[in-house]
Structure 1
């Protein structure tokens, strides 16, 4: 029950481009999240007019999520 045609080689799991891209993203995401949640000090963030006092990990997490959103939108527009 082999899905490859005669003469074709099966591609290894880690050699697939999608798997390699997802693995790289996962490693960077884990490192970023560890960095974010290690920063527990309280900081003041200026949101246009008001100043908000919040934990630094919260501000970093918001910035990271906005960066992911911007990256996703820009990649989808390129296609």
Structure 2
């Protein structure tokens, strides 16, 4: 094997530690943590009959998950029709 085609642990240096993709993921993680810590106050949510008190970030995360599931199911149904 030539040295150019094989990648060893020696060739992975600090220059490859911070790739653009890793920087974006790190920035999104920091923004998510800031969002959570800024939205910790409790809110009351009425679900048909019961009234639930949860932190605002939990309610927003739950609604994001519901929206993601609806979007994924819509995409799945649309893909199957083709």
In the alignment, the residues of structure 1 paired with residue 69 and residue 35 of structure 2 have an alpha-carbon distance, to the nearest angstrom, of: 17
Based on CA coordinates, which of the two structures has the bigger radius of gyration? 2
Output the TM-score relative to the length of structure 1: 0.55
Segments of 5+ residues of structure 2 without an aligned counterpart are 1-20
In the alignment, the residues of structure 2 paired with residue 47 and residue 36 of structure 1 have an alpha-carbon distance, to the nearest angstrom, of: 24
What per-residue deviation string (whole Å, max 9, x for no partner) do you get for residues 25-67 of structure 1? x87xx48x72751311110000100101111111001000000
Greater relative contact order (Cα < 8 A, sep 6+): 1
Q: Secondary structure at the residue paired with 2:52?
A: strand
Segments of 5+ residues of structure 1 without an aligned counterpart are 1-22
1:71 aligns to 2:71 (yes or no): yes
